[in-house]
Chain A
Amino acid sequence: MNTMTKMTLKTEGDTHLVVTRHFAAPPEVVYRAHLDPKLIQKWMLGPEGWTMPVCINETRPGGKIHYEWTNGKEGFHLTGEFLELEPYTRIVHVERMHLPDPTPDNHIETRFEADGAGTLMTMRMTLPDPQTRAAMLATGMERGMEASYVRLESML
């Protein structure tokens, strides 16, 4: 994989999780692909075999977010609210998964910065407490699990 596009996922402090990714398109385009339901339905799908039949974004502060995924057998949904929208630069929202019980609120700030001809996206998630973050990512266990990551990848 190209190092320019390689995703990073790391923890910050006790309650944050930061994802960065470079895209070969300007911030205006990447920003739009993060808000337009028709576009989101084409990429925010997770593992192979899942589709997103419902995608509602009320793109204004206080506007609702409602996404639903299914793999034909099982499904789950996500709800949230937009807090701030700075065109082409920044999206701030909260979201929770319903599995079916709602997970604690995840506060997410997504920034889009021009990076050469492309965009550096930085998504900073803030979880209410360290336990919740641990549930999203087992801090410090990554190294110890490297071997089984490799094993799992060879299975996929």
Chain B
Amino acid sequence: MFSTPNLNASFAALADPTRRAILARLASGEATVMELAQPFEMTQPAISQHLKVLEEAGLIIQRVDGTKRPRRLAKAGIDAMDQWLAMLRKALEKNYDRLDEILATMQSHTKGKKR
């Protein structure tokens, strides 16, 4: 549950702001390299390099459409990462909910002793 090698590549791929922006863009639908390069003021080869990292991390996939190679989010890769993150947040929230109960018990004990 804690060590999927591909998960490390996925999170490493996200360390770059341009790549995060590319994923955010792809979250709203498929896009070509040209469409992806447009908002970033970057050359197409530079964008292609980022796309390669994202692809190797299992976060995006490409499709052949004539001369175009539109990219879209890879559901499996995103889902794996997604669940890991949700787990982290949920684990913390669960911990603190349990701590609330313990604190309530500790306080009633303290009050009991004082009386």
In the complex, whether B35 has a CB less than 8 A from a CB of chain A is: no
In the complex, whether A47 has a CB less than 8 A from a CB of chain B is: yes
Tell me whether B2 and A152 are in contact (CB under 8 A). Answer: no
In the complex, whether A74 has a CB less than 8 A from a CB of chain B is: yes
Q: Which residues of A contact B78 (CB under 8 A)?
A: 145, 148
Choose among B85, B96, B102 the residue that contacts A145 (Cβ–Cβ < 8 A).
B85
Q: Which residues of A contact B92 (CB under 8 A)?
A: 7, 9, 19
- Count residues of B near A (Cβ-Cβ below 8 Å): 40
Complex: chain A residue closest to B79, CB-CB? A148
CA–CA, A30 and B104, complex, Å? 10
Contacts A29-B110, A134-B12, A140-B24 given; indicate if A74 touches B103 (C-beta within 8 A).
no
Tell me whether B20 and A139 are in contact (CB under 8 A). Answer: yes
Choose among A23, A24, A141 the residue that contacts B14 (Cβ–Cβ < 8 A).
A141
Q: Which residues of A contact B104 (CB under 8 A)?
A: 24-25
Contacts A23-B103, A33-B103, A45-B94 given; indicate if A152 touches B12 (C-beta within 8 A).
no
Q: Which residues of B contact A76 (CB under 8 A)?
A: 2
Tell me whether B90 and A47 are in contact (CB under 8 A). Answer: yes
CA–CA, A144 and B78, complex, Å? 10
Tell me whether B23 and A23 are in contact (CB under 8 A). Answer: no
Q: Which residues of B contact A (CB under 8 A)?
A: 1-3, 8, 11-12, 14-15, 17, 20-21, 23-24, 27, 78-79, 81-83, 85-96, 98-100, 102-104, 106-107, 110
18 A-B residue pairs with CB within 8 Å: A7-B96, A23-B99, A23-B100, A24-B100, A24-B103, A33-B99, A33-B102, A46-B95, A47-B87, A99-B3, A131-B11, A134-B11, A135-B12, A136-B88, A140-B14, A140-B17, A141-B23, A145-B86
In the A-B complex, the 7 residue pairs with the closest CB atoms: A46-B91, A25-B103, A43-B98, A135-B11, A134-B15, A144-B27, A43-B99
